Structure formats: structure tokens, C-alpha cells
Amino acid sequence: MPVVLENLGKRFGDGAPVLDDVNATIAKGEFVALLGASGCGKSTLLNIMAGLEKPTSGALEVPSDGAAFMFQDASLFPWLTARGNIELALQLADKSSTKASRRERANELLELVHLGGAGDKRPHELSGGMRQRVALARSLAQDRQLLLMDEPFAALDAITRDLLHDELERIWKETGRTIVFVTHNVREAVRLGQRVLLLSSRPGRVVAEWDVTEEHRTDAGRAGELTGVITRRLREEIRRHAK
């Protein structure tokens, strides 16, 4: 089912609204990148979609099985191996599963993220990019149609980030997940998203959106033009927030 946000609003206590009148529809299997100035409510919106926060106003529809969440920090349990972190997620998702079935599925997920030989390594033995791959596999282990990603590659170097962009695109195409990807990086948004949504400065609401076509993916010039257009619009929002 699609994700539908209708007139969604959120405020904490008596403070000013963080989100106001957010409207968006995300189709099943779509990859949407969410941009906005710092503090505009992007993470709060993801938390609402994940069921971690309740909206103050408006309504939303998400898949009945909820959402899987991937954060900027891999947040792996240091005493568990890469495989063990994934097996734990599988156990929490299905308490009736057997140890053997969890191990088999964890190995499949490690192969999916190209870490088939790293299952017995603990987090401190893995690079930052490898830890994020394990975190992605752990998110996929929850077997939810909707995957929410909150700046998962922001702390990585440019080369590692580009490699993980390729991996994420491949996995998205293989699994058919619906993905909402929060980022501050316009290039990243254009590289990954089928659509880019821009939230205004606080209170956050969707003020612009752009379709990213296959031509943008194959023509660096067209991708650069779109990146420039979105960057200028984002800067307008940042300047408005600074006033």
C-alpha cells in the first residue's frame, strides 16, 4: 500500500509547530529522497511514519506491518558478530523462528549486502562502510515493505558513500522496498531518489518536489542541472530560516 500523509502536523508541548500541513503520497516500491534545512522536521516526520511519534494533527497511512528504520549511526551491538546482529533482528521480528532458519536468512542478507565473508566479525573489526552494510541488512531483516533511512551515509567518506549508493540502489531494485531517504546532500538525493521532496524551514511542509528521470541517471549534465535547481531552492529555505 502507498504511504499517505494528509495535513500532518506536529508540535511538542506548547512550542511552535515543527511540522504543519504536510501532504505527500509515496507509491509502493517508490524511492523518495527528503531534503530540507537543519531543524525543519525531517527526522520528526520519519519518526511519525515509523510510529515512534504521534502527529498532533492530520492523518497518515502506512503499511500495516509498520516500517523498518535505519539511522545515521549503525548502532550495532558490539558484543555480537555481524551475523549475530542480524539474527537478533530476525528473532525479534519472528519469535517462532528457529536458530537454524535465522542463521540461514542472516547469511542470505549478508550476501545481499556483499558481506558474505564478514559474518563472524564484530563491529570493531569492520570499517564504517561495512558497519552500515550490516545495519542495512539488519533493517531488511525486519521484512517490512517500508524502509525509512535517516542520513545513513552522512558520516562516511565520499568514495565509500558512492559505493553504498550503488549497493542501496541494487538492493532496492532487488527487494522492491518503499524507501524514504532523508539527506542534506542534494547530489545524493538526485543520485538515489525517483522523486525529491523539499521541506520548508520550520514549520516543515512540502513546498517543492522534482521527478528524477532515467535521463538524469544516465546524463551527468542533466543530473547537474537538476542538482543546481534543487540546491538554489534549498538555499532559499535556509536563508528564510536564518532571518
pLDDT of 88-118, one tens digit each?
A: 999 998 888 899 999 999 999 999 999 999 9
pLDDT in tens, 27-62: 999 999 999 887 788 899 999 999 899 999 999 999
Region 127-143: mean pLDDT is: 92
Contacts for 219 with CB less than 8 Å, ≥ 6 apart: none
pLDDT of residue 242: 59
For the chain, domains (ranges, CATH) are 3-66+144-242 (3.40.50.300), 77-143 (no CATH)
d(CA 179, CA 182): 10
Write the pLDDT tens digit of every residue in 164-192: 999 999 999 999 999 999 998 999 999 99
pTM of the model: 0.91
Instruction: Please compute the mean of the pLDDT values over residues 55-76 and round it to a whole number.
Output: 89
> Is a pLDDT exceeding 70 seen at residue 243?
no
- Look up residue 42 and give its DSSP letter: H
- pLDDT bin (cut points 50, 70, 90) of residue 241 is low
Residue whose C-alpha cell reads 531483516 in the numeric block = 141
Closest CA to 89 of 19, 18, 144: 144
Mean pLDDT of 4-18: 90
Q: Whose grid coordinates read 549475530?
A: 84
Cα separation, 113 vs 152, in Å, equals: 15
Q: Quote the pLDDT of residue 2.
A: 87
Residue 68 · residue 147 · CB < 8 Å: yes
Q: Which of 16-20, 41-45, 194-198, 214-218 has the highest mean pLDDT?
A: 194-198
Average pLDDT over residues 74-86: 93
Give the pLDDT confidence score for residue 240 in this predicted structure.
72
Q: What is the pLDDT of residue 210?
A: 96
In this predicted structure, the answer to whether residue 226 has a pLDDT above a threshold of 90 is yes
The pLDDT, as a whole number, for residue 225 is 93
